[in-house]
Amino acid sequence: MRKRKRVKKITLYLLLAFSILIPLSATIGLKTAQMTFLPQLLQATNKSLSYFEVAKGEWFVEATGTCFEITASKYLNIILSSSESVQMHLESIPKMVSFIIESKSSVTSTLITLSGFEPLTTYYLYQNDQFVETFTTDSNGEYSYSQDISQPCHVYIKEEPSTIYISSDFTFNRDINEPIYVVADNIVIDGNGYSLQGSGSYGFYLYGRSNVTIKNVLIKGWLYGIMLWASSGNIITGNNIEGNSYYGISSPYSSNNKFSRNKISESGWFGLMLTQASTNIITENNITNNRYGIRATFSSNNSIFENYIMKNSFLGIELSFSTNNLIYHNNLINNTNQVQDRSPMENDWHHPDLLEGNYWSDYTGIDDGSGIGNHSIAGDGIGDTDIPWPQTGYDNYPFMEENGWKKSDNEIFQGFGSLRIGRRRIRGEGTLILYDDLICVEIRDQSASWDILNRCEIGCFEFYYGNGDLGRMFIFIYRRETSCALAMGRRVFFCGHN
């Protein structure tokens, strides 16, 4: 009898120990993950949950399941329940609750129950860019309704209605303090140097729009500076997007857009966010002093080049569950953590044809020609040691200097026995790829008496040179200033072969 009691007692102690250790180890694991990857974003990855699990996050949560909870928002701690399993991105930020919802099966509708609102309070519900309804919560702060999920939807709930709707070309002639919803395609919105400043949800909101240009606007003080949702073929250029509480630009489910020459700074969380977005171009932007400079999740085939990404307090660039993205010719300067990529070998952190990467302010290698291939060339401005940088799968061709890819007008490259374009040698038949719309190309023979090719346009220039019958040939590449006439250009490169 005594023995059995002792066994029971030991078993009880063991169960007690496990009940303490298991939650403790889970907490330790979570804290470690937070420190190394996404601090303060609790379970904010697209995790699949069992039917009874609850996905939790501080102010946003991304997961697939039926129940999602915000636990530490500065606004409302919301619980969202769905009768069907859905993919969800739920946020609760001051004066707005929003979520992106997508069916994970053939089901086309689901019953949504929201709790955590103020009791007996009126709110305004929008879907995509349309006002849907006004609703009043019950005495427990709850509200239920049927949600269409036949396609991905963006739902947002606000405390008060407001909005300017734009359906044709529009030029600011004063500062504006109300949100702007763009409800037509093929239009240009020119800020004309004025500001769109407020404290509400969205500065600009576009849903399902194409061929819209937004330029020259100071966009300040919103929760989202620009929301570009399920839109394609748009241009966001020359804007100053600063001091927005959560996002400078957010672009979910969008493709073939161009973000260029914007200054994006002081965003509370993300300077530029891509979610399930593809084939977008991000170029010539100055993205500084945000928490995250650029973040892409579940996004592919985007090009990120010639940007300044500086002094972002957590990450310069983050790629999460994203593939086939091209990142090169960027200046990554003094970000607390320069980059984070869950699968760096599935993205290109240098240009695969140019064999040129990015400038990293913390790069420790030297340009001594001690490697093989292109890394056997000393003094070409690309590091030859400590590669790839910052670790396996990243940049094999880091530049030694800021903007190292912008060569001097007087710099001369000569190749013998092959054509050499910059650092790249091409033998036999080849293609010269140009990335500038102000380029002139001239190929001529040794006497310079006639042109084989003289074209001024963006694109690829195919050529063939053979057994030397034409003697010594030259390729001149010019940056055009006012005319396609070569005499009026400035010589950028000189390449030759014999």
Which tens digit of pLDDT belongs to each residue from 90-143?
Answer: 999 888 899 999 998 999 999 999 999 999 999 999 988 788 899 999 999 999
Residues 216, 190 contacting (CB under 8 angstroms): yes
Q: Is 207 exposed, middle or buried (0-12, 13-18, 19+ CB in 10 A)?
A: buried
Q: Rounded to an integer, what is the distance from CA 169 to the centroid of its chain?
A: 27
pLDDT of residue 54: 60
Amino acid at residue number 55: A
- Over residues 54-79, the mean pLDDT reads 86
How many CB atoms neighbour CB 214 within 10 A?
Answer: 27
* 234 phi/psi in degrees, rounded to 5: -100, 160
Report the pLDDT averaged over residues 375-398. Answer: 93
Query: pTM for this structure?
Result: 0.67
- Mean pLDDT computed over 38-51: 37
Residue 303, both tokens:
């090009």
Structural domains in the chain, sorted by start: 47-158 (2.60.40), 164-348 (2.160.20.10), 419-497 (2.60.40)
Tell me, what's the pLDDT at 57? 66
SS3 34: helix
Alpha helices for 105-164 (secondary structure H): none
Contact 483, 496 (CB under 8 A): no
**Using CA atoms, how far apart are residues 80 and 54, in angstroms rounded to an integer?**
10
What is the predicted pLDDT for the residue at 433? Answer: 41
| 292 pLDDT more than 50 | yes
Tell me how far apart the alpha carbons of residues 497 and 489 are, in angstroms, rounded to a whole number.
Answer: 23
Q: Residue 468 — very low, low, confident or very high, per pLDDT cuts 50/70/90?
A: very low
Does position 455 have pLDDT exceeding 60, yes or no? no
Q: Is 15 left (phi over 0), alpha (psi -120 to 50) or beta?
A: alpha
| Average pLDDT rounded to a whole number, residues 347-368 | 94
Q: Worst-scoring range by mean pLDDT, 146-155, 250-259, 270-279, 411-420?
A: 411-420
Residue 373 pLDDT class (50, 70, 90 cuts): confident
Strand partners, 155: 99, 127
